[in-house]
Amino acid sequence: MTVVVLALDALDAGLVEHFDLDAVRLTSSNDLETFAHTQDVPYTPEVWATVATGLPPEDHGVTGGGTSEWDNPVLEALSRISGRFDESTRGTLGKVVRSKTGERERIARTDAESMFDAEGAVVHNWPGVADGRPLQRAWDLMNAVAEGMDRSEFERELFGQCAQQFAWATEMLNHPVAVAGVHVHALDAAGHAYADDEAALRHAYERVGAFVTKIVDALEDGDDLLLLSDHGMHAAFYPPDEGENPATHSFRAYASSTADTCPATVYDVREWVETRASTTRVEGAGREEAVDVPEDHLRELGYLE
């Protein structure tokens, strides 16, 4: 039995109500207390690394200039400076460096233990913890949008990535997995692009809601789903945001689960997940027989050395 953790970046508690999005209101739901550390508002890699480790940014180390790493020391120094800027400035700087040198940053990974290090836990992509490339692709996409990529291409890319991430999580329900975590950036990118376009952002929320419903339908007795965000997004059409700058991160993070409780803060998520995972039995675990690979054929094909 599996606990699926969906990291729905920028899913905004206020907009869930505004759009009346039942698909993400599971058995229990609440606002999730989040934090700002190096910026005035919550910053994606800092918060997700905290969610996975249960540690504050000063302890997990994915913070400020430490949110990214470059192979080249000069780029590493520039990255430390760009870490103090917001995501769009940072994206622009990153792009200049990429075009001049052909090198690019990696989202840094914490050395601290996370909930995905436990036996039976798996993770697909998760900023600060596992494979930051999908987040980089999402940031690249946002840069392309800023430069005039048309809507149909943007949405095709965005929801194409989203579909892969949800499909992976759903497939994990067929395997002896205790915890399966995946980060989905779609609503952050859509929130930045459509903060002044209510119909387009509602559509994006409904698309993500439809993916959530598919996973909920695939759960079996004893499985649980926890979905949560790191922050929300201010929107021009959302009445409580009057006077706020649209397309900036809000503190309205959200959590919902198929269980009777939800974590109250981003620091509580790890313990919540581990408590539930420890009460579920991993069926099929311990099946350790090796796969019998026909090595000769693979060597002929050049797949093996």
Q: Check residue 44 for interaction with Zn ion (CB under 5 A).
A: yes
Minimum CB–partner distance for residue 57 and Zn ion (Å): 14
Stretch that binds Zn ion, among 41-49, 89-97, 172-180, 195-203 (CB under 5 A): 41-49
Q: Check residue 125 for interaction with Zn ion (CB under 5 A).
A: no
Stretch that binds Zn ion, among 42-50, 142-150, 206-214, 287-295 (CB under 5 A): 42-50
Q: Check residue 223 for interaction with Zn ion (CB under 5 A).
A: no
How many residues line the site for Zn ion (CB under 5 A)?
A: 4
Stretch that binds Zn ion, among 39-47, 114-122, 210-218, 232-240 (CB under 5 A): 39-47
Return the number of the residue (128 or 223) whose C-beta is nearest Zn ion: 128
Stretch that binds Zn ion, among 3-11, 216-224, 264-272, 297-305 (CB under 5 A): 3-11
Return the number of the residue (61 or 127) whose C-beta is nearest Zn ion: 127
Contact 229, 254 (CB under 8 A): yes
Among the listed residues 46, 224, 230, 241, the single contact to Zn ion using CB under 5 A = 230
Return the number of the residue (44 or 67) whose C-beta is nearest Zn ion: 44
| Contacting residues toward Zn ion, per CB under 5 A | 9, 44, 188, 230
